Structure 1
């Protein structure tokens, strides 16, 4: 029947498209959330906090993951573009009958890639408790370099065997893809955490650039952070307590996160207040102090 949606070819094409796009989109979203969480978790731990205190949503983690992925993705695209250009150039020379030279070059690339990956893996084994930035990326590059060298050597062979190699080549590509994907995931996770720790450290230099915050509360808050002053005003029946010397960090999850003036990783404190109706916070331009 024409009214049956399953019989409509347009409906079938839409379902097929969703089946193709859905799983990669789900995986990409999960990766964005994880990288955003890794960056925020490292930043929170460096500041002496737990990431759960911020109450960030999935959307917050996705937005915070963008700085962690932008630079790695740009470099990945640049390297891919250079590799395609070089591979096409070598393919042209191969078609011109220079297979012997390409075969020697392929052997050099193959062993160089294996040596690079093995050296980076040795670094990881010798320093298991230390995060060496970009080592997973270099290891992934070594694996891809070795795979490319092997591919060039096969293409430069005069009579490549194609009888029973189809299944093994497919399995080989699948294993290489999985290995490189895991290494890129590992490297991006390390980069996101390093970025989070760097952001926490940067607050020591740019805490004065954060918005100023003055807290007014009808109840005494007892904030004991360095450089925070308390003044009492109002009447005896209706006192008002004013706290100055604070800087706004972030407002999230129904909480206000404040830093004291001159905040440092070693001696600074993060003041966490509930966004309560009995409390008022005035924010100002940092240059207006």
Structure 2
């Protein structure tokens, strides 16, 4: 009964000794945040590695990418733990639900099919790859169901052996009491004569290394599947957030870009105005832009009329030769847009 639990605990202690849990979680959050940022800016054809993101930037973005997966995983895991606890209580009391004779083979077969589909999808394209995160989830869920079916089978076998031993011991005790009551005082008896003819032996258990290896393989496969699924979801969230940003461009504050020299910006909808006949500190003004973000020493701006087909994104170095001025979004302006002077 405690073989699986002991194996998990021992494996957790070994992993904890090798990699600190905080470092492992931070590395995973960094990984998912990186992919969220990569695919968000890739939608605008900007390589996110140019923007100088730090660890804090990626960690903050990872929360957006992992909010739904963590919520769903926690909910499903909680329901699974409650169901397992109820079943474990029934088994420890010696009650074996008849449905187990059908549940264990069904869970094992379903887990095998899902695990096989997930593994097959890692090497070649299948119908599972056409749905977001379905292939990696198939792998993780399939391996989990296989491991749980095996755990249930071992638990049922151990419980049945314990119940049989208890029943046999009670029967032997009753027989010994009957023999003692009918035996004569001078009858010779030896300890060996009171022992039952057929002794029950406890079932053989796996060596510790085999248990550790088994749970290590299970956790590796399940973990890789979950990381794969979260990676796909992070990429999807990044693209979705970019599409929503584009859909709401007209509601974002306008960013007026001033520059000492001409930046030769010719994006659709961007208007350039020379300032001060060459005597102003900033000789050119660019209207029709919106700021996506400022990261490190870079500004990332989009034209209000940006589109996926031929739109361009602007990455402007942040230095003293340029400055930004923010105003109301175009959606709040009444009448046609005016060509503003410096």
TM-score range with shorter-chain normalisation? 0.7 to 0.9
User: 2:257 aligns to what SS in structure 1?
Assistant: strand
TM-superposed deviation, 1:282: 0.6
Which shifted more, 53-62 or 195-204? 195-204
Query: How far is 1:33 from its partner?
Result: 1.1
Residues 170 and 275 from structure 1, CA distance in 2 versus in 1: closer, same or farther, beyond 3 angstroms? closer
Partner of 1:230: helix, strand, or coil? strand
**Aligned position for 1:60:** 57
Q: What do the CA deviations read for 1:108-155 (whole angstroms, capped 9, x no partner)?
A: 111111112223334444417x67422212320121112111111221
Alpha-carbon distance in 2 for matches of 1:202, 1:99: 51
Match of 2:102 in 1: 104
CA RMSD of aligned residues (A): 2.4
Aligned to 1:199: 241
Q: Which residue of 1 aligns with 2:148?
A: 148
Tell me if structure 1 keeps the 8 A contact 2:29–2:59. Answer: yes
Contact 1:218 1:279 in 2 (8 A): yes
| TM-score, normalisation: structure 2 | 0.72
Q: Quick one: structure 1 residues 131 and 184, their matched pair in 2 at CA, closer, same or farther if it must change by over 3 Å?
A: same
CA contact (8 A) 1:256 1:275 kept: yes
Displacement of 1:93 in angstroms is 3.1
Q: Does structure 2 conserve the Cα–Cα contact (< 8 Å) formed by 1:103 and 1:153? A: no
Pair 1:159 & 2:161 matched: yes
* Alignment partners' CA distance in 2, 1:22 and 1:108: 37
Report the equivalent of 1:49: 46
Post-superposition CA distance 1:71-116 (Å, at most 9, x none): 1111111111111111122223333422553233112111111112
Taking the aligned partners of 1:285 and 1:236, their CA distance within structure 2 comes to: 28
- Count of residue pairs the alignment pairs up: 271
Contact 1:103 1:156 in 2 (8 A): no
Partner of 1:81: 78
Distance in 1, Cα, partners of 2:18 & 2:254: 46
| Correspondent of 2:309 among 247, 266, 269 | 266
Aligned to 2:268: 226
**What is residue 9 of structure 1 aligned with on the other side?**
none
Q: Which runs of no fewer than 5 residues in structure 1 stay unpaired?
A: 1-18
Indicate the larger mover: 97-106 or 264-273. Answer: 97-106
Larger Rg: 2
Instruction: Report if aligned partners of 2:32, 2:234 keep a CA contact under 8 Å in 1.
Output: yes
Which consecutive unaligned segments of at least 5 residues does structure 2 have?
1-15, 163-201, 334-342
User: Which residue in the other structure is 1:32 paired with?
Assistant: 29
Residue number in structure 1 paired with 2:286: 243
The structure-2 alpha-carbon separation of the partners of 1:70 and 1:218, relative to structure 1 and needing over 3 Å to count, comes to same
Supply the distance in 2 between the matched residues of 1:214 and 1:204 (Cα, whole angstroms): 18
Match of 1:146, SS?
helix
Q: Shift of the alpha carbon at 1:251?
A: 0.6
Q: 1:230 Cα deviation (Å)?
A: 0.9
Q: TM-score, normalised by structure 1?
A: 0.85
Which deviates more from structure 2 when the two are superposed, residues 252-261 or residues 102-111? 102-111
Query: What displacement does 1:288 show?
Result: 4.1
Query: Deviation of residue 271 (structure 1)?
Result: 1.1
Q: Distance in 1 between matches of 2:124 and 2:55?
A: 37
Residue 241 of structure 1: CA displacement? 1.4
